[in-house]
Structure 1
Amino acid sequence: MLGLPKTTEFNKRIPKQKFYENMDISPALKKVFVEQVKIIYWKNKIAASTTNLAVGSEVTELEVFEIRLNSPVLDDGLLRQIDREIPYHILFLLEYEGKYQAWIGYKEAAASGNKAFKVNGYYYTEWFVEDELPLKMEGLNIDAVYENFVRQIAGDKLSTEKTGESLKESVEREEQRQTVQKQIEALKAKIKKEKQLNKQMEMNNELKKLKRELEEI
């Protein structure tokens, strides 16, 4: 799958019950496992031991999980829960009726340590047949392979316009952009409802500032 080396193939089916029976999850999330997920496979293990790649300083292993679905919709809370529980970086391939969607989170060690991870958010592709997924293993170490998968999946959202920008910096810039975009949309809605002209003018000035800020991010 994805043209990954045969040495990375694991192809182990993991009963979904193992996830919700061994995790501290809410009844709602257990329902997601039961109703939305058909089968979970651990397809590949990308590591220095399974490839000719060098060990990464941030990413020690990159797992590829295939999740076969009962419908083309999955609550991403399920992916987040799996990511929290498994101390490795994970590329998720969702499958439904022969089409695939790749999901990956920007995952980093939590400040508390204890091998804990936090996932800031997820990036995902459109649905493709397997051979057309826009993913390719590139890089000289596991860190670089992970970063390239994130950037390939995120596409324009994490464009490398700024030379030398790290993945973390790109992710933070995108989060900042989304925050300002939400502020702009909220302010536009307030302007539409505002009846007083002087307040409309004040808010329009604020809107212009936010739009300039968005352009500068």
Structure 2
Amino acid sequence: MINLPNSTKVCKQMPKDIFYKYLNFSDTLKKSFIDEIDCIIWMNQISPETMIISQGNEVAEIAVMEIVLKRQEINPNLLEILNREINQYAIFIVRYEEWGKILCCWKETEDNLKGDTCSQTNWMSYEDLILEVQGMDLDQVYENFLMQITGEKISIKNETRLKVILEKEEKLKKMGAGIQKMEAQMNSEIPFNRQLKLMNDLKMAKEEIQAIRTSKPEPVKTLQPETMELPLNNIETIHFILPNVVMKLQEE
């Protein structure tokens, strides 16, 4: 089931004509938009402002959008355009009557060769769709969304976590070399009091290595703060999630 924190709920319907009037739709795509899409609802906003979670190195906030269809099909080009225009990472829940599927269109980045291609689940009963917040920061939450959609572990660029892992491995390597040196000294002929000190140092070093190997980052608390104050009128709402559309409106 779709189980997202109550504090992240937005549930605002976006004015449909704004999309096909101001986004970069060809006549064919505009017709597809009108014929295929009944409405677009901004369902959830996942961010440090709406729940207790850390901002990621790559992902600052995630929008969950529900697209209600008139028939059980949607032109993938429509999703790619919507994904490019939304000013944050987005997850799309596509719904037709009691059926639904979840999609994620990749954000085009310098080192992401996937461009704006979409990953998606199969059509299934809407009640059987799975989407849950899992992770200690928004990078992990987004990666887990991808796993829930594709069934595969997909990582996004995250230099901070990689740096921590490499520093941890380097520290363990140095400590391992130090233990080998102490064990070699233990086997040499040295005064008894020196041997006692080495035995104590060796014991402490092994305990520290074990602690580092088994250590895990402190999990994020699951307390739910009050829902953030979201814009009330349509223009402010659109400006928050579709800033390029508002720029075109202001040019008129």
Q: TM-score over 0.5 for the alignment?
A: yes
Partner of 2:90: 90
Partner of 1:143: 139
Partner of 2:24: 24
Q: Which amino acid aligns with 2:91?
A: L
Instruction: Using the TM superposition, give the Cα deviation of residue 128 of structure 1 relative to its aligned residue in structure 2, in angstroms.
Output: 2.5
Look at both structures and tell me which one has the larger radius of gyration over its CA atoms.
Answer: 2
Kindly provide the CA deviation profile for residues 50-82 of structure 1, in whole angstroms up to 9, marking residues without a partner as x: 011101111111101110101111011001001
1:128 and 2:124 matched? yes
Describe the shift of the 1:18–1:81 C-alpha distance in structure 2 as closer, same or farther (beyond 3 A): same
Matched residues, number: 156
1:55 and 2:51 matched? no
Q: Which amino acid aligns with 1:89?
A: Y
Runs of 5+ unmatched residues, structure 2: 158-252
Kindly provide the CA deviation profile for residues 91-144 of structure 1, in whole angstroms up to 9, marking residues without a partner as x: 100110121110112224458xxxxxx843111111223331132211011111
Describe the shift of the 1:159–1:44 C-alpha distance in structure 2 as closer, same or farther (beyond 3 A): closer
1:74 and 2:74 matched? yes
1:153 and 2:149 matched? yes
Kindly provide the CA deviation profile for residues 184-204 of structure 1, in whole angstroms up to 9, marking residues without a partner as x: xxxxxxxxxxxxxxxxxxxxx
Describe the shift of the 1:8–1:26 C-alpha distance in structure 2 as closer, same or farther (beyond 3 A): same
Q: How big is the alpha-carbon RMSD for the aligned residues of Structure 1 and Structure 2?
A: 2.1
Q: For 2:87 and 2:117, how far apart are their aligned partners in 1?
A: 17
TM-score when normalising by structure 1? 0.66
Q: For 2:51 and 2:27, how far apart are their aligned partners in 1?
A: 39
Q: For 2:153 and 2:44, how far apart are their aligned partners in 1?
A: 27
1:41 and 2:41 matched? yes
- Three-state SS of the structure 2 residue aligned to 1:107 is coil
Identical-residue share of aligned pairs (%) = 35
Structure with larger RCO (C-alpha < 8 A, sep 6+):
2
Q: Runs of at least 4 residues of structure 1 off by over 3 A? A: 108-111
Partner of 2:105: 105
TM-score when normalising by structure 2? 0.58
Q: For 1:131 and 1:119, how far apart are their aligned partners in 2?
A: 30
